[in-house]
Amino acid sequence: MSQTGDRDAGTVRASVFTEPGTPVRTVEVQLAPPGPGEVEVAIAGAGVCHSDLHVVKGEWDVPAPVVLGHEGSGVVTALGAGVTGLEVGDHVVLSWVPGCGGCRQCELGRPWQCEVAANVVAAGGVLFDGTSRWSRDGAPLHHYLGVSSFAERVVVPASGAVRIRRDAPLDVVALVGCAVATGVGAVRNTAGVEEGATVAVIGCGGVGLSCIQGARLAKAGRIVAVDIDAAKLEHARRLGATDTVDSSATDAVEALKALVPEGLDYIFDAIGKIVTTEQAIAALGLGGAAVIVGLPPTGSTARFDPLVLAEANQRILGSNYGSVDPQRDIPALVDLYMDGELDLDSLVSGRRPLEAAQDALDDLAAGGALRTLLVPSLVAPQ
């Protein structure tokens, strides 16, 4: 029973993916009330990310049909039984790794590696109890990463709804839930970039530009942005890059070695293609670390010379969700935005209604968009 009293399953609009090759459709679905330890959230904004695109293209195998979206923010509208620390009316950013608090990884202080979130929520397309709150015409739908933010309202684990300050623009801070936490966190938490270090970031989309901002906040001595898009490289300069490499016109590894002959301390692959991962490893200096932030299609493999890696004392680091503690890091990142230290507004390339979810995904696939925000309150053009 919800703490808001008797609530029938509600009808909401949501963007549903069924199978690769079939467009995402925004339709009416049913959303059951929150169960114990869960909350309902009215979505203010949902960012469209490459992880959603991987699903639509069939590069990641997820349970379907599924309500897409994993980057979102909104207002708490109902509480399930036993929820503490949140109230109806709270402004929240949603986390796609809702820590269970009881698995070995959570107990070791690594909520970004929560075993229940990975093995039940992400793999099963359900919530902690193994069931879904979504249905359509009596048939269950799946949750995407415990969020499903491409919808008017959602039900999520309470640990996946992180309370933030109320004066922050609620749609824009949706980006903190994935792109910004992932990028800044990769620099701060996974890599621990030191002041004065030399850094390169391959890929200047929403995550890569967040890596660049993280490197600027860490006071890196040199920050090199690498991309094939001149406009994105110029954007990277505005956000803190000291140098740029147009990898459409030159070999990225040779260009990085020419800019920093001693080799780079940290290189962040914010794309996740095999070629960019191999470039990140190949351009490292002595003791350098390649940080793999972008996620490739399932089953991809990269090549590197392990002898060079060992002799140069280099490292390859995987960075899942920027190694963030959502309850700690998400409010802090929102504070940095409100204090003018992080630029979120320029990462938003446009706003669209839910009905345009497929168009937003197409824009992202074409390479021109940074982060389109789906805003459920917007009315689709007739």
Judged by DSSP in three states, 252 sits in: helix
Please tell me which residue in 2, 15, 50, 51 is annotated as part of the active site: 51
Please tell me which residue in 49, 100, 114, 204 is annotated as part of the active site: 49
Q: Quick check: 73 and 169 in contact, CB under 8 A?
A: no
Which residues partner with 27 through β-bridges? Answer: 14
Residue 70 appears among annotated catalytic residues: yes
Sheet with 198-202, edge to edge strand ranges:
243-246, 222-227, 198-202, 264-269, 284-292, 315-318
For residue 82, the tally of other CB atoms under 10 A from its CB is: 11
- Does the N-terminal peptide bond of residue 98 adopt cis geometry, omega within 30 degrees of 0? no
Residue 106 appears among annotated catalytic residues: no
Q: Are strands 91-94 and 315-318 parallel, antiparallel or unpaired?
A: unpaired
Name, in order, each residue with C-beta under 8 angstroms of 281's C-beta and a sequence gap of 6 or more: 267, 290, 302, 304, 309, 314, 316
Please tell me which residue in 70, 91, 142, 235 is annotated as part of the active site: 70
Instruction: Label residue 187 exposed, middle or buried (CB < 10 Å: 0-12, 13-18, 19+).
Output: buried
Residue 114 appears among annotated catalytic residues: no
Q: Quick check: 279 and 211 in contact, CB under 8 A?
A: no
Q: How far apart are CA 214 and CA 24, in angstroms?
A: 33
Name, in order, each residue with C-beta under 8 angstroms of 320's C-beta and a sequence gap of 6 or more: 97, 112, 113
Residue 235 appears among annotated catalytic residues: no
Please tell me which residue in 100, 178, 204, 211 is annotated as part of the active site: 178
For residue 255, the tally of other CB atoms under 10 A from its CB is: 21
Residue 49 appears among annotated catalytic residues: yes
Q: Quick check: 149 and 88 in contact, CB under 8 A?
A: no
Catalytic residues: 49, 51, 54, 70, 178
